[in-house]
Amino acid sequence: MVTKQDSDLLAKVIKFLFWPMAILVMFFLLVPVYIMVKVSLSAPQDILTQHPPFLIHNFTWNHWLKVLKSGNLWLPFQKSFVVATITTVIAIMVAAPAAYVISRMPKKVRYTVILSLFFTRMFPEVGIALPIAVNFIKLNLLDTYTGLILAHLVKVLPFIAWILVGTFETIPEDLEQAAMVDGASRWTALTKVVFPISLSGIAVAAIFTWLESWNEFTYALYLTLSQRSLPLQTYYYVLRGDWFQSAAYSTILTIPVALVTFLLQRYLKSGYLSGAIKG
């Protein structure tokens, strides 16, 4: 039998170990990113040695300048950014209303629909990308922004719909009913009450969608002939064997990820529902 003293001791141990474990996990997560940035900003003599230093000793922008002046960056960057942004906007516009409807279904029906969404994610990406590419060739969508956006939507819609179903389930129906009692229509209740409260879940879905589209490689490989996306362009740079320019490319690839996450993280707040319902 666990006594109160044992529980208190366990809680103290967990509290004591939390920050050391958190720092250790962050260290292992950030060190690979640091090494990538370090290689992109270091002179060759700092890297091509038997015992390379952990810190940057000979700082240089040469590898970045070669990438920026190569003429192979801006078009792939533009394509990846435009495709990721449009995919995110369309995915949220489609998935948010659908997820709201699913969340208000009876429990058995709701879980059946959610399981059917997950069933679509059971197949490997390669097995889906090939028939999509074949059909897109017939529709003249190969090597186009539209084709890549549609392919990315196939990938992200089921998962973000599941995220948003869980978000809308936490919002009491009493809030909508109270708004409609005050004279609001169903649409007004959704746009003025439900969706603002669900901003946290929508932000999570938007971040996930943007990152998945930005980093997506398989569909870009099948659907691209000349206008490469940035991950695909980075892959070809890695194949060339130039460590320094590959590191610079990879670092550039991560900068928008950090910016988008930083801009949307302010919506990731708890307590949206506190005080919403009284009595």
Report pLDDT for 222.
86
- Distance from the first to the final alpha carbon of the chain: 39
Last-in-domain residue among 19, 37, 60: 60
Quick one: 220 and 237 in the same domain?
A: yes
Per-residue tens of pLDDT for the chain, all 279 residues: 556 666 667 677 777 777 888 888 888 888 888 888 898 888 888 888 888 888 888 888 888 888 888 777 888 888 889 999 999 999 999 988 888 888 888 888 888 887 887 777 777 777 788 888 888 888 888 888 888 899 899 888 888 888 888 888 887 777 777 777 777 777 777 777 787 788 888 888 888 899 889 888 888 888 887 788 888 888 887 777 678 888 888 888 888 888 877 777 766 654 444 334 443
Last residue of a domain, one of 60, 75, 102: 60
Same domain as 232, residue 118: yes
Within a domain: 177:
yes
Q: Are residues 155 and 39 in the same domain?
A: no
Domain count, the chain: 2
Same domain, 120 and 246: yes
Beta carbons of 103 and 197 less than 8 angstroms apart: no
Clarify whether residues 48 and 87 are in a common domain.
Answer: no
Structure tokens that stand for 203 in this block: 């932000």
The answer on 115 and 38 residing in a single domain is no
Residues 120 and 227 in one domain: yes
- Looking at residue 84, its pLDDT comes to 92
* 60, 83, 107 - which closes a domain: 60
- Please check whether residue 172 lies inside any domain of the structure: yes
Q: Are 250 and 234 in contact (CB under 8 A)?
A: yes
State whether 49 and 138 are in the same domain.
no
Do 70 and 203 fall within a single domain?
yes
Question: Looking at the structure, do residues 242 and 263 belong to the same domain, yes or no?
Answer: yes
Find the domain containing 46 and state its range.
4-60
Assigned domain for 144 exists: yes
pLDDT of residue 101: 84
Is 278 within the bounds of a domain?
no
Q: Say how far apart CA 109 and CA 99 lie, in whole Å.
A: 13
Cβ 248 vs Cβ 64: under 8 Å: yes
- Indicate which CATH number applies to the domain containing 155: 1.10.3720.10
Position 133, amino acid: A
pLDDT computed for residue 230 by the predictor: 84
Residue 195 lies in a domain: yes
Separation between Cα atoms, residue 210 and residue 215, nearest integer Å: 9
Answer whether 0.85 is exceeded by the pTM: no
DSSP 57: S
Is residue 93, in this structure, part of any structural domain at all? yes
Do residues 166 and 187 both lie within one domain?
yes
Q: State whether 55 and 135 are in the same domain.
A: no
